[in-house]
Amino acid sequence: MKKIYILIIMVISCLLYFLINLGSSYANEPLTFYNVYLDGELIGVINSKQELENYIDKQNKKYKEEFNVSRVYSPNGLDIEKIVTYSDKVSTVEDVYNIIQSRKPFTIAGYQITIDNTIDTDKENVDDSEESTKIEGEEIDPITKIYVIDKEVFNQAIESLYVTFVGKQTYTNYKENTQKPIDTIGTYLDDIYVSSDITIKDVRIPVDQTIYSDYNDLAQYLLFGDHNVKKTYSVKLGDTIESIALENKISIEEFLLSNPTFTDESNLLFPGQQVLIGQTNPKLRIVTEESITEDVTKKYETIIKYDSTKVKGDTEVLQKGENGLERVSQKVRKINGDISYVQPISNEELKPSKSKIVVYGQKEVPNVGATGSWYWPTKSGYRITSYFGYRIDPFGGGRAFHQGLDISGTGYGSPVYASNNGTVIAAGHRGDYGNYVIINHNNGYSSLYGHMSRLATKKGVTVARGQVIGYVGATGQATGPHLHFEIWRGIPFTGTRLNPLRYL
């Protein structure tokens, strides 16, 4: 009986020991598991790293189809570390996946392309003036990041932009080295390239980012940025490309980029015609360098004479004027389609111009300019590099209204002429215009001349049409030699700026 009692006690002890160990969370032997961290926070412990990665890939078939990839990966910031422990508490793969899904996007393999516009190898050659008004909210980011799955999409987008700026045939001839040299007149593409600094690296791209798979979509973004959507404008009676651009706060170049069927601003429009309005916001710099030789009209000069015996206001034309013709060769650099620098090469007179001679009746000193006859302020062979109207400001990057004409191509130190008779009311230097002169023509108009290398007149002097008042330079906030020219109704900075081309 005693033996049976002892046996019963031993059985009960064994059962108690088994039950106690059954409820314990610790094993007798060390176990291998994996800690899962998301941005440094422990979110679970799992049996298999491979099992979680495969589960993520399996649950996200929609992203495989959307982006045409073979695998979907864990989010950036997810770390899985192997551990050895006696604790057997683990999470299910499903529970860990749900936590990840609720916090961060999954990723796919691709490339991050960084465009750095703070580095510009051509900055010293930018030829534009600063007299502009920046429109609030319009800025170009100095750093742009884009994502692609295939690097070739980016390369094709760049080539698409090359074609946009120089034309398909010109780019094909350039690429295949089949351009014909300039015989008499014409254009030769010397080079086309991206001057922005570009870096490409392999990354895991979050699926909530904009990922470009079509090069046309990417090219449009690189050119128009956040203004990728263009609006339609219906042409009205009397509209010109210039007036439409001005009304919609875009440059003429932007109009032509959005409407490639038009070749230049002189193309005719008809009422009811539909055109596109797109504001460019380039994400990189496409630089073109061209040799251009063209025959240009050399406008005749008007020589004004005064006869004190004639009544003031009487006018007599002694000789009619005739335009001449000259062959001008230049090296022209453009950034995103806008002329940034012009280097004069040669200027050959093909046909001399014949001056118009006009006699005005005048008994007092002729310090009053004639409102109907204005003198071109530089010598011939010039090129207008920036017109009166809206453009992308090359300095601040914002949309800006350019208040005058930028005239290049006559060379550093070439003469600047008074555009009309008048009195010099300012001659000196200021930070934006550099060396500048203001002439009051005493007829309700004034003119301003900026960025000159040096002056040839002073305040209080009466000057005549065509008189040298200074020399072309690059003082002030201009980084290339050119003349900035303005015409005002009234006195500059208090009156109204006017488009000089309507008067010259």
Q: Are residues 34 and 123 in the same domain?
A: no
The more confident residue out of 392 and 377 is 377
Q: What is the DSSP secondary-structure string of 103-126? A: HS--EEEEEEEEEETT--TTGGG-
Q: Which of 54, 75, 104 is the last residue of a domain?
A: 104
Which range (256-260, 353-357, 376-380) has the least confidence? Answer: 256-260
The more confident residue out of 83 and 369 is 83
**For the chain, percent of residues with pLDDT exceeding 90:** 66
- Kind plus residue range of the DSSP H or E element containing 328: strand 324-335
Query: Which amino acid is present at 392?
Result: I
The more confident residue out of 252 and 355 is 355
419 within domain boundaries: no
Q: Which of 276, 298, 318 is the last residue of a domain?
A: 276
Which residues have CB under 8 Å from 416's CB, separation 6+? Answer: 377, 378, 449, 452, 468, 469, 470, 471, 472, 483
Q: Provide the token pair at 280.
A: 């460019």
Range of the domain at 71: 27-104
Distance CA 416, CA 483 (A): 8
pLDDT for position 365: 47
Cβ 443 vs Cβ 491: under 8 Å: no
pLDDT for position 316: 86
pLDDT (average), residues 49-73: 95
Q: Are residues 62 and 96 in the same domain?
A: yes
pLDDT tens per residue, range 175-186: 999 999 999 999
Residue 12 has pLDDT above 80, yes or no: no
Residue 325 has pLDDT above 80, yes or no: yes
CB atoms within 10 A of CB 449: 28
**How many residues are present in the chain?**
504
267 within domain boundaries: yes
What is the DSSP code (8-state) at residue 67? Answer: H
Cβ 334 vs Cβ 340: under 8 Å: yes
459 within domain boundaries: no
Q: Are residues 243 and 137 in the same domain?
A: yes
First to last CA, the chain: 133
Which residues have CB under 8 Å from 246's CB, separation 6+? Answer: 389, 390
| pLDDT band (50, 70, 90) for residue 5 | low
pLDDT (average), residues 481-500: 94
203 within domain boundaries: yes
pLDDT (average), residues 111-133: 60
Q: Provide the token pair at 3.
A: 């033996």
Residue 452 has pLDDT above 50, yes or no: yes
pLDDT for position 140: 52
What 3 state SS string does 137-194 have? CCCCCCEEEEEECCHHHHHHHHHHHHHHHHCHHHHHHHHCCCCCCCCCCEEEEEEEEE
Q: Provide the token pair at 79.
A: 């770390």
The more confident residue out of 138 and 360 is 360
Q: Are residues 196 and 88 in the same domain?
A: no
Q: Where are the alpha helices (DSSP H) in 32-84?
A: 49-59, 61-67
Q: Provide the token pair at 390.
A: 């809206």
218 within domain boundaries: yes
Of 329, 273, 341, 319, whose CA–CA distance to 296 is shortest?
A: 329
pLDDT for position 28: 72
pLDDT for position 252: 85
List phi, psi (to 5°) of 332.
-120, 125
Q: Are residues 209 and 244 in the same domain?
A: yes
The packing angle between helices 151-166 and 215-224, to 10°, is 60
78 within domain boundaries: yes
Query: Which amino acid is present at 113?
Result: I
| pLDDT band (50, 70, 90) for residue 372 | confident
Q: Are residues 170 and 197 in the same domain?
A: yes
pLDDT for position 127: 41
Q: Over the chain, what is the mean pLDDT? A: 87
63 within domain boundaries: yes
Cβ 165 vs Cβ 192: under 8 Å: yes
Give how many domains the chain has, as a whole number: 2
Q: What pTM does this model have?
A: 0.75
The more confident residue out of 4 and 457 is 457
Query: Which amino acid is present at 47?
Result: N
**For the chain, percent of residues with pLDDT exceeding 70:** 87
Q: Are residues 51 and 145 in the same domain?
A: no
125 within domain boundaries: yes
| pLDDT band (50, 70, 90) for residue 375 | very high
Q: Are residues 137 and 261 in the same domain?
A: yes
Distance CA 63, CA 84 (A): 35
Cβ 193 vs Cβ 284: under 8 Å: no
Q: Are residues 233 and 99 in the same domain?
A: no
Distance CA 31, CA 493 (A): 82
